[in-house]
Structure 1
Amino acid sequence: MAPARRVADLVVERLRAWQVPRVFGCPGSAVTPIVDAFADAGGDPAFVPARHEETAAFMAVGHAKYTGGTGVCLANQGPGAVHLLNGLYDAKLDSKPVVALIGQETAGPLGRAHADIEIGRLFSDVCHQFVRTVQTVEQVSALLDRAIQTAVATRSPTCLVLPYEIQVAPAPPAPSPAPGGGVLAANPGLPLARVLPHDADLNAAAQVLSSGRRVALLVGQGGYGAADEIQALADRLGAGVATSLLGKPVLDERLPFHTGVIGDVGGDASAQLMAGCDTLLLIGTNDPWTGYLPPPGQARVVQIDIDGRRVGSRYPVDVPLIGDAAETLRALIDRIPDRPGRQWRETVEASVDRWRGTAVERAGQPGEPVNPRLVFQELSPRLPPDAAVAVDVGSVTYWYARHVQLPPGVSAHLCGTLGSVGCALPYAIAAKLAAPEQPVIALLGDGAMQLTGLAELITVAQHWRRWADPRFVLLVLNNRDRSGVGDHREPRAPEVVERLPDVPYAGWARLLGLHGLRVDRPELVGPAWDEALAADRPTLIEAVVDPVVPLDPPDQPFADLRGVLADADAARRVHDQVLRTHVTVDSRDLG
């Protein structure tokens, strides 16, 4: 006789109905029935055990970022739930839908369970849109549906607490009669609304953008899926384009007018573009580095965002547009005449050329033993066109932002707003599990590797033989520097570097049956990338790099292009005057 269907089985069925392909978590006594139900479901959805609840939460966020779907993580009450918080705050601050399922034991030897923490209060900030505890078996489907619906609709994390005695109870019939009468409805997969600004607002925005002489676009992660529209509008306006750190993958970075990332992690061209423009269009960005935007009052500003709470929250805006980026941009393009300012565009492109030359020059400078910039500079031309890239927090963020050019089709994500170390490897695992046929590259420092990476490399070793494409490359910058995440404008002396213990990272990978490469000479960098991307198994590249290479934020964030443009105007006027003089003389001679 088949075992009786329990509420734990119902939870797994509802996740399947919502097309959740996998759940990340750590087994424990309070979630044993749900973990058993995943096993009985035969991998649909799959349960992916992580080595730690924090990395499980990061995997759920990574799944949401790389797939556009909803990430789900599972943990015990008490310390397990506490460990989820870092990943859930990542989801909150980067606006990604993630659902946390918490198992709870409500009875123990002393009348209450050990590790008793009030989940509602603990999660009331990070999951403020929805935190509920199931009280009856009849509530399970409806509350789980509401948790997922709310996460999707608000692009934020939510939490549902499932007591153990509820999980093991017989599953109710569907639809479930609610206590006291009525029905608790459950409807998976409700569509999102189409959001567009009003015509009057679009007209006002078009007027502002059309009247600008030096237009700049700043693109954030809200611009995903709108690359064609962004490029078309930039060409129509003769604008330069910069991105936030999270918006780096949105647009082809090889475009001649793409100045790169703004902020401390960015370069001179973006700082100059922002400070030199007289008109600014913000597209789906909530970037915190507002010190690199034009001084208030210098530029007229239009902002597009699907979330009205963010419009004008960081920077004053003249025309707010609440709407989806791609559709709003299409509506704007139809209202703007095609009269690009070539002089401004040419000035921006010259600035981009100078900055790219500077980046190559810096990457070619010697290091002891290897310049970390070189490691990233050599990756750019080798990036597979369908790759996914995961980036950690620290000096790797600077080198990635400046020295890796992302071609179209390459997705890249990082814990951009929270800035939590240890996110890259969990992200990369989630990306690979979601698309086993695509190559995945994770970029992190030795601090992140020691924090979470050494353990989660076990997860890679557990899964890789089932991947259609074994290419999974993990770059670890071994500089033994714990504090290399600050704004170091000058090289630091070796004696002031806070040293980490040295760990044989490549050797650890080989012990797990993976491939490991140690790079300690500049001439080995390019061949190491080639070997790793051609390997028949996941590869860890341990690059021994110089810890005192300066991070070099833009020295003058307000050193703008207006002076360059004024010089160009003066030179052109002199040239035109000389030309007119020669024409006059020649005419008299001919007469």
Structure 2
Amino acid sequence: MKASEEVVRILSDWDVNHIYGYPGDSVNNLIEEFRKSQSELKFIQVRHEEVATLAASAEAKLTGRVGVCVSIGGPGAIHLLNGMYDAKADSAPLVVITGQISHDLLGTDNFQEVNLERLFDDVAIFNKRVTSGKQLGPLLKQAFREAYEKKGVSVLTVPDDVFTEKVRKTELRSEAIPSFHLVPDKHSVQKAVSLIQQAKKPVILAGKGGMGARDELLEFAEKIAAPVVVSLRGKGVIPDQHPLCIGNLGHLGTKPAYKAMQNADLLMLIGTSYPYRDFLPSDAPAIQLDIDSSKIGKWYPVDAGLVGSAKEVLAGFNEQLTYKEDRDFLQECQQDMSDWWKQMDEIVSESSGNLQGPHVIGTLNDYLDDDAIVSIDVGNVTVWSARYLRLTNQKFIVSSWLATMGCGLPGAIAGKLNQPDKQVIAICGDGGFSMVMQDFLTAVKYRPPITVIILNNEEIAMIKYEQKEMGHSPYQTDIQDLNYADFAKASGANGYFVQNKDELVAALKECRNNDLPSIIDVKIESREPLPGK
């Protein structure tokens, strides 16, 4: 068989459903194999390779499976970098296959030749150039294992002539990658139990690593009378309006979360290595629970580090710990959060006539399915979504640590391709959307009925705010306006131009039944992005 056929076999064996990419000379032999493949494997042609990696990264975040993308070498490979760094920063497993000029031309400064191994050296945990067809299968299998086990980016650079070489069939996986059962050492567990029992004002900060352990986390927090603060990537780990939840932390967070952290006498980091020390206690003892030992104590000094899964370790704690009777601190935090929600409700219900970001997000809450997927872009929309979206069981996708603008649309495309029966909504600013708007045509081509809400204030408002905070006069933060609803219609999709709440409600209702992608272009007033700070 040809080496390219072996690639398809391995991708299918790893349960890859979608490959995002752009065809071209140095990968055309592989693309031909995708065309001929009769498996469930689908090649999704994007309009820009950056969107390929952003979509593959979003798919990995959403499903936990390895995302895959393909591009030519040279300029195509260079375009991949932004999404690759997003995957690296957010620990999303990603396999990237790039073409390269043929072996006999390497090193001659030929057309589109780039040293790709050097280019990807910083972003990849596995970065190899394939030198023969015999190598391709084994290295691709290793790339998947490394990406899966280390939650990072694996890259294979393949000269175009390698794909056509003849190879022997190799054995595929006989079983799934084994899961390692990590158990914290007894001394650390005993130390953690002692700290919990002594604490009068414990606070939990839960992140992405707590996803899938909702029941155990809630039982744990209830037993020890601890309010739960969530990181941005942890939004949705428990329902936003659960009595134990006091919201996000940081510049986009809530006052109750900040206040609780400043008063805490014990910090418990569960599935997060939150880096912003200004928002954490100054000197409280800490317990950190993480599946990755390298994250323990990375940003905040810990007294007890526990390596293991949140679900298993918290279940163990729940068996040992007794119900805490002193609940004064928790009740104070809950009252603060109740007051906070009232303040947010007042902002959302303001009836000045002109829409603002909070109004849009607050209205959207009433039209979100309980199991919807929401893909958030970066900017003001991140702040507003963190504060005003009231998630229950919805999935929340965002570029958290890299915080790259333009992630909202690719995330929605990946979300709908993977979960075609679920409601999928992207919330974007006009700045973020216009960075990748060419790939709305990708959504139109494959017809996933996503809804893209664009909060259009004709400026890069967060940057404008930052310039003001630094004492500067705003400069080059205005954006040339465009009627994005007309753009959607010109693309062969649905477009809605919205200027008031009635029009917004009508558009949201109609989008629920659309069988094509839709854009809701919402004109909003400019507003400082951190209301209630």
Same fold (TM over 0.5): yes
Aligned to 1:384: 369
Q: Over the residues paired in the alignment, what is the CA RMSD in angstroms? A: 2.2
Aligned to 1:250: 237
Residue 476 (structure 1) aligned to one of 454, 461, 481? 454
The amino acid that maps onto 1:374 is H
2:60/2:94 contact within 8 Å kept: yes
Aligned to 1:156: 152
Q: Distance in 2 between matches of 1:126 and 1:157?
A: 7
The amino acid that maps onto 1:303 is Q
Task: Kindly indicate whether residue 431 of structure 2 is the aligned counterpart of residue 431 of structure 1.
Answer: no
Deviation at 1:366, TM superposition (A): 5.3
The total of aligned residue pairs comes to: 531
The amino acid that maps onto 1:349 is Q
1:151/1:158 contact within 8 Å kept: yes
Q: Distance in 1 between matches of 2:75 and 2:505?
A: 43
2:97/2:157 contact within 8 Å kept: yes
Aligned to 1:260: 247
Q: Distance in 1 between matches of 2:220 and 2:320?
A: 11
Residue 401 (structure 1) aligned to one of 386, 404, 426? 386
Residue 354 (structure 2) aligned to one of 350, 364, 369? 369
Aligned to 2:118: 121
Q: Deviations over 1:206-240 (max 9, x none)?
A: 11112111111101111110111110011001111
Q: Deviations over 1:481-513 (max 9, x none)?
A: 124246559899998672111111011111222
Aligned to 1:269: 256
More off after superposition, 206-215 vs 147-156: 206-215
Deviation at 1:534, TM superposition (A): 3.3
2:246/2:257 contact within 8 Å kept: yes
Q: Distance in 1 between matches of 2:451 and 2:76?
A: 29
Deviation at 1:12, TM superposition (A): 0.9
1:80 alignment partner, SS class: helix
Task: Kindly indicate whether residue 40 of structure 2 is the aligned counterpart of residue 40 of structure 1.
Answer: no
Task: Kindly indicate whether residue 326 of structure 2 is the aligned counterpart of residue 326 of structure 1.
Answer: no
Q: Deviations over 1:398-443 (max 9, x none)?
A: 10000001012x1111000001000111111111111111110101
Q: Deviations over 1:267-293 (max 9, x none)?
A: 111111111221111101122322111
Aligned to 2:287: 302
Aligned to 2:204: 217
Q: Aligned in 2, Cα 1:84/1:394: closer, same or farther, shift over 3 Å? A: same
Residue 525 (structure 2) aligned to one of 534, 541, 546? 546
Aligned to 2:327: 342
Q: Deviations over 1:38-82 (max 9, x none)?
A: 010035311111111100001110110111100011011111111
Report the TM-score, using the length of structure 1 for normalisation: 0.86
Task: Kindly indicate whether residue 424 of structure 2 is the aligned counterpart of residue 440 of structure 1.
Answer: yes
Deviation at 1:360, TM superposition (A): 1.3
Residue 513 (structure 1) aligned to one of 485, 492, 495? 492
Deviation at 1:341, TM superposition (A): 2.6
Aligned to 1:412: 396
Q: Distance in 1 between matches of 2:477 and 2:121?
A: 37
5 Å-filtered alignment, 1:35-74, equals 35-42=31-38, 44-74=40-70
Q: Deviations over 1:310-349 (max 9, x none)?
A: 1111111111111111111111112211124321221111
Aligned to 1:462: 445
Fraction of identical pairs, as percent: 30
Runs of 4+ deviating beyond 6 Å: 185-188, 489-497
Q: Aligned in 2, Cα 1:488/1:257: closer, same or farther, shift over 3 Å? A: farther
The amino acid that maps onto 2:372 is A
Q: Aligned in 2, Cα 1:519/1:553: closer, same or farther, shift over 3 Å? A: closer
Instruction: Give 1 or 2 for the bigger CA radius of gyration.
Output: 1
Aligned to 1:526: 505
The amino acid that maps onto 1:479 is N
1:235/1:340 contact within 8 Å kept: no
Aligned to 2:85: 89
Q: Distance in 1 between matches of 2:353 and 2:288?
A: 45
1:379 alignment partner, SS class: helix
The amino acid that maps onto 2:460 is R
1:534 alignment partner, SS class: coil
Residue 203 (structure 1) aligned to one of 190, 200, 210? 190
5 Å-filtered alignment, 1:151-190, equals 151-174=147-170, 189-190=176-177
1:422/1:448 contact within 8 Å kept: yes
Q: Deviations over 1:136-186 (max 9, x none)?
A: 2211111000000000010000101111111011233436xxxxxxxxx97
Q: Distance in 1 between matches of 2:159 and 2:338?
A: 60
Q: Aligned in 2, Cα 1:61/1:109: closer, same or farther, shift over 3 Å? A: closer
Report the TM-score, using the length of structure 2 for normalisation: 0.95
In structure 1, the gaps of 5 or more residues are 176-184, 556-591
